[in-house]
Amino acid sequence: MTLVDVADAAGVSKTTASRALSKVEHPDVSAGTRETVRRVAEELGYRANATARALRSGRVDVLSVVMPVLGLGYVGWWAPALSAARAEAARHGYRLVVHLLDSRSQELGEVLDGLVDFPTDALILITPLLTAAQESQVQRLKVPVVFLDDTAHHPWAPTVCGDNYGGGYLAGRHLVECGCRRIAAIVRLPEPTYGRERLELTYARERLDGFRAALREAGVVVRDDLIVGSEETFMPPPPRSLAIEALLARGETFDGVFAVTDHLAATALRSLRNAGLRVPGDVAVVGYDDERAAYLVEPPLTTIRQPVAEFGRMAVRVALAALNGGTDPERITLPVELVVRRSSAAR
């Protein structure tokens, strides 16, 4: 079935049929004609020739996503973001191709090298922890780039992320409202990239800054000696929180804990319970992200929910905007919300 067949069946010229089937509504084709041609094309089972369309437009209608996996194929909070991105891309007539990055056997630089010969219109990078050399590799691809990332700042390309400062503020304010006055925090330490460099994690600093601001605003002393760094891995999860155990071994007392990720909060709950401390009776705990772990731990975890699906949709929209006239390399920050569960309630 060809475009000529569709045009003949719809009673229009081949040019009009082509314009009516375009993803972008053509001003020379009325809404009625467009609807008729598309209905006829569907009835006839017409599918546009992707190669011919690419030759005409210079585009292949493909968006590429590079994302890490965290052991055994687990993709963490990125799964709903990826699903939403695929649906948004399809809504605009694009396919989403995912390039999974297994840091144990393959470095990011190798994936970027492979993209040089891969046909794609734009690239979405999810939490890549780029080295300076890898940033240069990305820029040499000569396609629009969008970061779905809060690990670092990228002043040369648009970034979609959550309001980490605001989320940290919400967590700190909630702990104060629960009556906590000696509040500990567990933060992610700088971690290695897929190469050898160690990079500071922007989200950890921003969340901690917001947390500190909430405590100061409430007149609660920020105890830097109660802020502990952690190198806990996401997969496999550790059996306990070394950060919490270090505080307890020093004889520190605290009545609240803010963990900058849910998986840090989950191990904190285990170590607090092992030490005979009740949550929330003795210590209230707040995490961040609202990942699956927040529902599975006991007690269920109060946390800061990120709009993960909207991250994926927004990343696609920004990529398409860059394709259709450009966009500023801005940092697009989406709002987060506090979700109260039993780890901090009823103290």
Give the 3-state secondary structure of 313-338: HHHHHHHHHHHCCCCCCCEEEECCEE
pLDDT above 60: residue 252: yes
Encoding tokens for residue 85? 């991105």
Query: Per-residue confidence at 45, pLDDT binned at 50, 70, 90?
Result: confident
pLDDT (0 to 100) of residue 211: 97
CA angle 202, 187, 272 (to 5 degrees): 160
pLDDT (0 to 100) of residue 26: 75
First-last CA distance in the chain: 69
Q: Name every residue whose Cβ is closer than 8 Å to that of residue 76 and which is 6 or more positions away in sequence.
A: 70, 234, 291
Domains of the chain: 3-48 (1.10.260), 62-162+308-334 (3.40.50.2300), 164-306 (3.40.50.2300)
Q: Are 20 and 6 in contact (CB under 8 A)?
A: no
pLDDT above 70: residue 273: yes
pLDDT above 60: residue 103: no
176-192: pLDDT as tens digits: 999 999 999 999 876 55
Least confident of 16-20, 110-114, 127-131, 168-172: 127-131
Query: What pTM, to 2 d.p., does this model score?
Result: 0.79
Which has the closest alpha carbon to 171: 36, 326, 325, 304? Answer: 304
Report the pLDDT averaged over residues 197-207: 76
Q: Are 152 and 135 in contact (CB under 8 A)?
A: no
140-162: pLDDT as tens digits: 888 899 998 877 788 888 999 99
pLDDT (0 to 100) of residue 347: 56
pLDDT above 90: residue 202: no
Query: Per-residue confidence at 99, pLDDT binned at 50, 70, 90?
Result: confident
Q: For residue 9, what are the CA distances in angstroms to 5, 14, 27, 29? A: 6, 11, 22, 17
Higher pLDDT, 196 or 135: 135
Buried b (16+ CB within 10 A) or exposed e, 96-110: bbbbebebeeebbee
Relative orientation angle of helices 202-217 and 164-177, to the nearest 10 degrees: 40
289-337: pLDDT as tens digits: 998 888 889 999 999 999 999 999 999 999 999 888 776 778 899 999 9
pLDDT (0 to 100) of residue 104: 44
Distance CA 98, CA 219 (A): 48
